[in-house]
A and B are shown apart, each in its own frame.
Chain A
Amino acid sequence: MKYTRPAFGDPNIKTFYKSSPFRAGGFDVPIVNDRPIPIRENFKRAAECRSPLWVPNSATDFNFAMLYQVSGMPEADWTAKERYYYKDWWGVDWMFVPEAGGPMLKPNTQFLDDITEWEEKVVFPDIDAYDFEGKCKEWLKTCDPDKIYHVNIGQGCTERLVALRGGYTDAMVDMALEPEAVRAFLDAFADWVIRVIDKVTKYIPVDYMTYHDDWGTERDTFFSEAMMEDMVFEPTKRIFDHMHEKGITVQLHSCGKIERFLPYMIDMGVNTLQIQARANDFRAYKEKYGDKLALEVMMMPDPSWGKEQVLSYIREVVDTYGKGGGLVSSFMHGDPEILWDGTMELYYYSREKYEEERN
């Protein structure tokens, strides 16, 4: 062990309060002091699979916002304890379901009953009617300028199609039977997303954006490569290209087993992937695409584990997925001592690991 980990409660180490838009309360996270290069530079290296100096930890290295926080668009209160209904900024009905931990399309509702009528019936949200400037400035006040500005812009092409059509079933039938209408809608949607990106980046020097589009079931992708090439990849790539033009690192969040789309993701310019551990073989992906595509691997220790087991697990994740960079992570824990020691271990162990690699 080259670097001594500061002991829990070390008076020379300050903490900061980290909250999440997805849960009530927050955590006192220790501040890592001795960064040999700026956090921003290290993050770029990690996301571009170029030897970073440590594994970026979103808990300590990022300022994070959901799009609603920087736009004022209507959004669910994720801390709500009771079910309730709300409309999103497209006019689609949602129900927040506390027992499921998130919002879902309100059952038996359908905003658009025929995709071929999208031009007459879908009104794209007027982003100029929202106070992006005020919200972005408000959020920036809560940020540490030395950390990454990370904004999750939410629903992507297929997810918006699904939301408008009241669920996956009709949206997928549309993709099979009405490809022209779907293609036209998704092209217009991409134009609109690009305007949203422009609006956010006008006020925030965004480093990192997460784009959300679920493409798979537990066992495979929802759609064939041909269908995605025909309708989805092109508008998605335009969105990612625009992010890149703005100097933004692109993260794709996609649920399900999306292995067959990995080569396409690389071609589209995805930098980091946020995907389901349960449905995907991270080790195989790292092996095959580890020099081109970074993985976000959240530290998810079993809640019953003691401190030593958690630290050992953190080292294992770094060893397995950190090679050559290409690993972005996050560590939070309800036990303050484990949170402290885990944060330090992730930082210092990965520094030792990358130094070893460079030598």
Chain B
Amino acid sequence: MSKIEEIASAVERGKAKLVPGLVEEALDEGADPVEILNKGMIDAMSVVGEKFKNNEIFVPEMLVAARAMKKGVEVLKPSLGGSSDISIGKAVIGTVQGDLHDIGKNLVCLMIESAGFEVQDLGVDVPAEKFVESAADPDVKIVGVSALLTTTMPAMKATVEALNQAPNRENFKVMVGGAPITQEFADEIGADAYTPDAATAASVAKAFVVG
């Protein structure tokens, strides 16, 4: 097994204590940092995402895998020569006003970050204006809007409507998700995409940006 395969395996298994050392070893052996990132980590997280989508692993396993990747990226970052080299774009993600649920939003943040985005986590209970303000950043390619409650679906609608009025609307895609959200609802409120889980959110976001 190559060092990069070892890294991928450790990321998949959520071995946060092992990954930084393995990354260091790979760098010492002369491995290409971009390859370590892409094959050792981003691809590994895609495998994790697929397994989650297929109900082969559960939320805790996905969380620890993402954390393991984060630890590896910390070691790798200086060798990548600046964040612009490793980011495929910026994503701002939050849970709508009136809704304080964060687990779905956190999973999407982790998976989108693991897919190569720079993520700005707006947190929970986020007013529509805050989403719009954050989306004004020209580097933002994805705006992720989450809601878990049926009672906060109107807040999601208001948020997406506000984003759709933004003068730089063509610069970013609006993605929505959360337990009560459906494709039909996403279409009705004018979102660009609905995804049913965090892994799909990451692959759809990536497809929007890199095609």
The interface of chain A, by Cβ under 8 A from chain B, is 95, 97, 99-101, 104-105, 107-108, 167-169, 172-173, 175-177, 217-224, 227, 278-279
Known: A97-B100, A99-B98, A167-B103. A176 touches B14 (CB 8 A): yes
- Whether A223 lies near B58 (C-beta < 8 A) is yes
Question: Considering the complex, which residues of chain B in the window 119-171 have a beta carbon less than 8 Å from any beta carbon of chain A?
Answer: 123-125, 149, 151-152, 155
- Whether B60 lies near A175 (C-beta < 8 A) is yes
Question: Considering the complex, which residues of chain B in the window 96-113 have a beta carbon less than 8 Å from any beta carbon of chain A?
Answer: 97-104, 106
- Whether A227 lies near B60 (C-beta < 8 A) is yes
Which residues of the partner chain B approach A223 to less than 8 Å between Cβ atoms? 58-60
A-B contact pairs, 19 of them (CB 8 A): A97-B98, A99-B97, A100-B98, A100-B151, A101-B151, A107-B102, A167-B103, A169-B63, A172-B59, A172-B63, A173-B64, A175-B60, A177-B64, A217-B104, A219-B196, A222-B59, A222-B60, A224-B61, A278-B179
Known: A100-B149, A107-B123, A173-B67. A220 touches B58 (CB 8 A): yes
Count how many chain B residues have C-beta atoms less than 8 Å from C-beta atoms of the other chain.
30
Instruction: Identify the closest chain A residue to B106 (Cβ).
Output: A169
Which residues of the partner chain A approach B196 to less than 8 Å between Cβ atoms? 218-219
Which residues of the partner chain A approach B123 to less than 8 Å between Cβ atoms? 107-108
Bound Cα distance A108, B101 (Å): 12
- Whether B59 lies near A217 (C-beta < 8 A) is yes
- Whether B58 lies near A100 (C-beta < 8 A) is no
* Extra 5 A-B pairs, beta carbons < 8 Å, given A100-B98, A176-B61, A177-B14: A95-B100, A100-B151, A100-B152, A101-B151, A107-B100
CB within 8 A of A167: which of B14, B102, B152?
B102
CB distance from B93 to the nearest CB of A (A): 14
- Whether B124 lies near A107 (C-beta < 8 A) is yes
Most buried by B among A101, A169, A173, A279: A169
CB distance from A233 to the nearest CB of B (A): 15
Known: A100-B98, A100-B99. A218 touches B179 (CB 8 A): yes
Bound Cα distance A104, B125 (Å): 11
The interface of chain B, by Cβ under 8 A from chain A, is 14, 55, 57-61, 63-64, 67, 97-104, 106, 123-125, 149, 151-152, 155, 179-180, 196-197
Instruction: Identify the closest chain B residue to A107 (Cβ).
Output: B124
Bound Cα distance A177, B57 (Å): 15
Which residues of the partner chain A approach B61 to less than 8 Å between Cβ atoms? 176, 224
* Nearest 8 CB-CB pairings of A with B: A104-B100, A99-B98, A176-B60, A168-B103, A172-B60, A218-B179, A176-B64, A169-B106
Known: A99-B151, A99-B152, A224-B58. A104 touches B63 (CB 8 A): no
CB distance from A238 to the nearest CB of B (A): 23
Which residues of the partner chain B approach A217 to less than 8 Å between Cβ atoms? 59, 103-104, 179
CB distance from B22 to the nearest CB of A (A): 18
CB distance from B131 to the nearest CB of A (A): 16
Known: A100-B151, A101-B151. A221 touches B58 (CB 8 A): yes
Which residues of the partner chain A approach B125 to less than 8 Å between Cβ atoms? 97, 107
Which residues of the partner chain B approach A100 to less than 8 Å between Cβ atoms? 98-100, 149, 151-152
- Whether B103 lies near A169 (C-beta < 8 A) is yes
Bound Cα distance A104, B152 (Å): 14
Bound Cα distance A133, B123 (Å): 42
Which residues of the partner chain B approach A99 to less than 8 Å between Cβ atoms? 97-98, 151-152, 155
